[in-house]
Amino acid sequence: MTTEPPHGAHGPRTLDRRSPLPLWAQLSADLRRRMEAGAFREEFPAEHRLTGEYEVSRHTVREALRKLRADGLVIAERGRTSRLDTRRIQQPLGSLYSLFRELEGQGVEQRSEVLRLERTVDGTVAGHLGLVPEAPLVVLERLRLADGEPLAHDTAYLPAESAEPLLDTDFGHTSLYGELTRRCGVKVTGGRERIQPFLPDIRQAWLLGLADREAAFAIERLGQAGERPVEWRETVVRGDRFTFVAEWSDDSRAVALAPRASCPSS
């Protein structure tokens, strides 16, 4: 049984040496509790400090920290003290969202490098948007940066007949949906997304700073204004910097699980 010391929620709890749970697991759980209470924002304690606070061996501390690193909560780099991983961005599922607004709302500096902004034609994308194959489109391709580090490779296609005014927009620090409403009078009100694990190609891995064969999330989105499709988006997001969060209740609608389509034989 653990007890709460006078330090409050941020302080360490006494580990129970009679518990069947190993000391390192108890320590890991208590450090996680302290993180969730807001501790360690300025500095994560060094190993020798933790051995003193919890009266455990350095081996126990290292095992606890190994677990926190594996869970993506702590970053450890050679020659530097451990620190909290505050780079992970949370995104709720089942809601209309703008990545720009979500990042800004979480106190993350958002910036984009525009790789392409032009008219184009793409028969497959036109089909997603309910258009004829030769329909002109506006394509916006961006590398999304969060606190100066690559987060997502994002390509959005919109019908040119309604999105033409976007061609003169500076998307370095603004949202697509905001500009679409202001400049084109088109407000995205809903849509659907599909999210799945994905191995980026060489170019995407280079843009996102990923190692060879490092997985990411692939997101396909159809954005709608009322019932009218107005956006087809393909996004590749770094898995180590992005977390999807779902809230549910007993009256929530079930999530459809779509099996992966088999590849046709050549």
Task: Look at residue 265 in the predicted model and tell me its pLDDT.
Answer: 44
List every span in the chain annotated with CATH 3.40.1410.10: 89-245
* Paired strand residues for 221: 193, 233
Q: Which residue type does 69 have?
A: R
Q: How far apart are the first and last CA of the chain?
A: 62
From 84, 76, 2, select the one nearest 41 (Cα to Cα): 84
Give how far the C-alpha of residue 194 lies from the chain's centroid of Cα atoms, to the nearest Å.
15
Check residue 250 and give its pLDDT: 62
Please list the alpha-helical segments (H only) found in 72-209.
99-105, 123-128, 160-163, 176-184, 202-208
Note the CATH architecture for domain 23-84.
Orthogonal Bundle (1.10)
CATH architecture of the domain with range 89-245:
3-Layer(aba) Sandwich (3.40)
pTM for the whole structure: 0.62
Q: Tell me the residue ranges of DSSP E strands in the chain.
A: 74-75, 83-84, 89-92, 110-120, 137-146, 149-159, 190-198, 216-225, 228-238, 242-245
Q: How far is CA 45 from CA 5, 27, 34, 48, 80, in A?
A: 18, 13, 12, 8, 12
CATH 1.10.10.10 maps onto the chain at: 23-84
pLDDT for the residue numbered 74? 73
CB 46 within 8 Å of CB 3: no
Task: Determine the pLDDT at residue 264.
Answer: 45
Q: Provide the 3-class DSSP secondary structure of residue 97.
A: coil
Are the CB atoms for 39 and 5 separated by under 8 Å? no
Closest-CA residue to 155 (of 197, 199, 187, 125): 125
Q: What is the pLDDT of residues 188-214, one digit of tens each?
A: 998 888 889 989 999 999 999 888 888
Spans of the chain, pLDDT less than 50 = 1-6, 78-79, 86, 96, 262-266
